[in-house]
Amino acid sequence: MRSITLNGPAKINLYLDVINKRSDGFHNIVTIFQRINLYDSIKVSIIPRGVVFNCSYPHLPKGPANIAFKAARLMIKEFNLSKGVRLALKKRIPVAAGLGGGSSDAASVILGINKLFGLKATPGHILRLAKTIGADVPFFISGYSCAVGRGVGDRLKEVSNSLSFYILLLIPNIRVYTKTIYNRVRLPLTKPAVNVNILARILAGKCKDEALASSLYNRFEEIVLPLYPIIKKAKEEMSLYTDRVLLSGSGPTIFGLFSVRKEAIEAAKKIRREGKWQTVLTKVV
């Protein structure tokens, strides 16, 4: 086998709170990750040496600044590989949109190299490597569809999501960088009125889903919405069609949850008339 192609999913955050700042400069968080049916595709091929990255997506870093490139170089170094890899990425997940596309690509590279070279690395070894690349990468390595993430997001506990809903993504045409938003977090933080454990129980079907809308939470909304009026407007627009609305990650994506696909389609049609943002209809996986 000289090449392997993997599909890396996007994610949304159904819950996201910042707990405190760590001594290493990162923040401890608690979040609920949910995979969604929107994928990048990356082909990993063996070449004589080095790392070559190809992608036609504009403005995407192609060298060491790219997280998938970093993941490939780390794997080559960690396992002392005598060959290199070429990465060919088909980008469908918007960049810097709070959907985890870069982290998902990095996870695909790690998993792809592990399989392509027959490394048979243990899951624990792979997860430790993933954590050094990015905080969201372990979630995509894990294979979980839905999970509570703690620490920097790397300590994962699977959530059995029994709810089947359609997801309408509303993506303003701006980029929001996670580091910028974290730099604006002010500690100490007030405790949110909602609880991650309650939301996990709702998703698992152990509580009535009528409380789902009031249990969705993202600490970053108090920073992002005042800072970016177009994102605030996007949330207001989505809220006309569903009360299950939230910012994903640090944004700019706003998502709405719908139980009925037809209702999500109708909302997408009406929102598209505004012409200010991209809309994507997807679902949980």
How much is the pTM? 0.94
* Residue 145 and residue 263 in one domain: no
Arithmetic mean of pLDDT, 38-43: 97
Q: With pLDDT > 70 as the criterion, what percentage of the chain qualifies? A: 100
Cα distance between residue 66 and residue 113, in whole Å: 17
Arithmetic mean of pLDDT, 179-203: 86
Cα distance between residue 283 and residue 285, in whole Å: 7
Arithmetic mean of pLDDT, 21-37: 89
* Residue 185 and residue 148 in one domain: no
Per-residue confidence (pLDDT) for residue 152, from 0 to 100: 86
CATH number of the domain bearing residue 68: 3.30.230.10
Per-residue confidence (pLDDT) for residue 58, from 0 to 100: 82
Cα distance between residue 110 and residue 250, in whole Å: 25
Chain segment 59-74, per-residue pLDDT in tens: 788 888 999 999 999 9
Strand-pairing partners, residue 141, are: none
* Residue 125 and residue 11 in one domain: yes
Task: Mark whether 209 is an active-site residue.
Answer: no
Task: Mark whether 21 is an active-site residue.
Answer: no
* Residue 68 and residue 147 in one domain: yes
Domain stops at, among 158, 180, 212: 158
Cα distance between residue 28 and residue 154, in whole Å: 10
Domain stops at, among 158, 177, 202: 158
Coil, helix or strand at residue 235: helix
Domain stops at, among 158, 193, 223: 158
- Is residue 233 within 8 Å of residue 277, measured between CB atoms? no
Arithmetic mean of pLDDT, 221-244: 95
Which residues fall within 8 angstroms of residue 192, CB to CB, at 6 or more apart? 17, 217, 219
Chain segment 80-131, per-residue pLDDT in tens: 999 999 999 999 999 889 999 999 999 999 999 999 999 999 999 999 999 9
* Residue 143 and residue 177 in one domain: no
Could you tell me the residue range of the domain that residue 179 belongs to? 166-283
* Residue 175 and residue 256 in one domain: yes
Average pLDDT value over all residues in the chain? 92
Q: Is the pLDDT of residue 206 over 80?
A: no
Q: Which of 11, 17, 70, 154 is flagged as catalytic?
A: 11
Which CA distances in Å does 67 have to 40, 61, 126?
14, 9, 16
Q: Which of 40, 105, 136, 154 is flagged as catalytic?
A: 136
Domains in the chain: how many in total?
A: 2
Per-residue confidence (pLDDT) for residue 209, from 0 to 100: 72
β-pair type (155-158, 27-47): unpaired
* Higher per-residue confidence, 23 vs 268: 268
* Residue 170 and residue 195 in one domain: yes
* Residue 186 and residue 278 in one domain: yes
* Residue 197 and residue 127 in one domain: no
* Residue 183 and residue 126 in one domain: no
- Is residue 267 within 8 Å of residue 256, measured between CB atoms? yes
* Residue 55 and residue 131 in one domain: yes
Cβ-in-10-Å burial (0-12, 13-18, 19+) of 190 comes to exposed
Q: Is the pLDDT of residue 25 over 80?
A: no
- Is residue 137 within 8 Å of residue 11, measured between CB atoms? no
Q: Is the pLDDT of residue 35 over 90?
A: yes
Which CA distances in Å does 240 have to 112, 268, 273?
42, 11, 14
* Residue 36 and residue 131 in one domain: yes
Per-residue confidence (pLDDT) for residue 161, from 0 to 100: 85
Q: Tokens 């905080």 label which residue?
A: 135
Per-residue confidence (pLDDT) for residue 178, from 0 to 100: 84
CATH number of the domain bearing residue 238: 3.30.70.890
Per-residue confidence (pLDDT) for residue 59, from 0 to 100: 79
Chain segment 124-179, per-residue pLDDT in tens: 999 999 999 988 999 999 999 999 999 988 899 999 888 889 999 999 988 888 88
Cα torsion at 205, 207, 209, 212 (round to 10°)?
Answer: -110
Per-residue confidence (pLDDT) for residue 241, from 0 to 100: 96
pLDDT bin (cut points 50, 70, 90) of residue 185 is confident
